[in-house]
Structure 1
């Protein structure tokens, strides 16, 4: 997987996330070899691991596992946001949707839109940002989306 991402200029804390804010997460191109390798390890259905069998499937060719698509989106989110933030993990994701098949050679672009930001009532040093994550192909079609809850540290008092 090759990526091209933008990076913020400073460390991000919960206070740096604002409802309506959009993070452009960069792009990546997915290869047949990556699709097959992921499929063999994690989701060995024929249309993820065998090009000949995939031609006979309802998809008419090799496609990435939906879980692979989610992992690609997660990597873009990490490169663009998490690695330059005070990330404290995540309690989970909701509304996972695989909307279009991801095929070899697809150029995928990630985006995260902040839906909510809440300081923790019990842990004042952290809070939660709720983010709608999407991955689009080069045709502008959304191929996967989910809503994630991300925990971030709060900016220390100066």
Structure 2
């Protein structure tokens, strides 16, 4: 189990393998993002996407699924997330794509007001089968401190 003290700035990880299906793209879109280019081939063909594409929010959900699956084998004393600093959908995701995740820890700090927790920031990229980025974000993760009585370093 990794705690705040175990997180190293610069640590990289690569994980996940998510096969995007037409059925899932349409199911997600029909429920959460029912725009024509996510639901209809003819409508999608008339857009810059050129064909049916996944919702960006669906891409986020697929990334989260791979992240949680990775956490099953690389356990952390995670405490959730206060959000993201940035999020970009760089390239469309299409049915038939296979996605994976790369991340790099870019900073970390202890909480002054809650010494039992720390925060770390990561650059996260989702790539397709051609190693093309489809999503980029800076995420914030809260994590438990192993020894909250240890002094907070600057």
TM-score (norm 2): 0.89
Give 1:52 deviation, angstroms: 2.6
- In structure 2, how many angstroms separate the alpha carbons of the residues matched to 1:94 and 1:70? 14
**In the alignment, structure 1 residue 119 sits paired with structure 2 residue 110:** yes
Residue in 1 aligned with 2:21? 31
Residue in 2 aligned with 1:4? none
Q: Which runs of 5+ in 1 are unaligned?
A: 1-10
Residue in 2 aligned with 1:131? 122
Structure index of larger Rg: 2
Could you report, residue by residue, the CA deviation over 1:43-88 in whole angstroms, capped at 9, with x for unpaired residues?
Answer: 1111111123212222110100111111111121122137721111
**In the alignment, structure 1 residue 68 sits paired with structure 2 residue 58:** yes
Residue in 2 aligned with 1:8? none
Q: Secondary structure, in 3 states, of the residue corresponding to 1:61?
A: coil
Work out which of the residue numbers 89, 99, 104 in structure 2 matches 1:98.
Answer: 89
Could you report, residue by residue, the CA deviation over 1:110-156 in whole angstroms, capped at 9, with x for unpaired residues?
Answer: 01110001111111111001011110011111000110110000114
RMSD: 1.5
Q: Which runs of 5+ in 2 are unaligned?
A: 149-154
TM-score (norm 1): 0.87
Q: How many residues align?
A: 147
- In structure 2, how many angstroms separate the alpha carbons of the residues matched to 1:75 and 1:120? 28
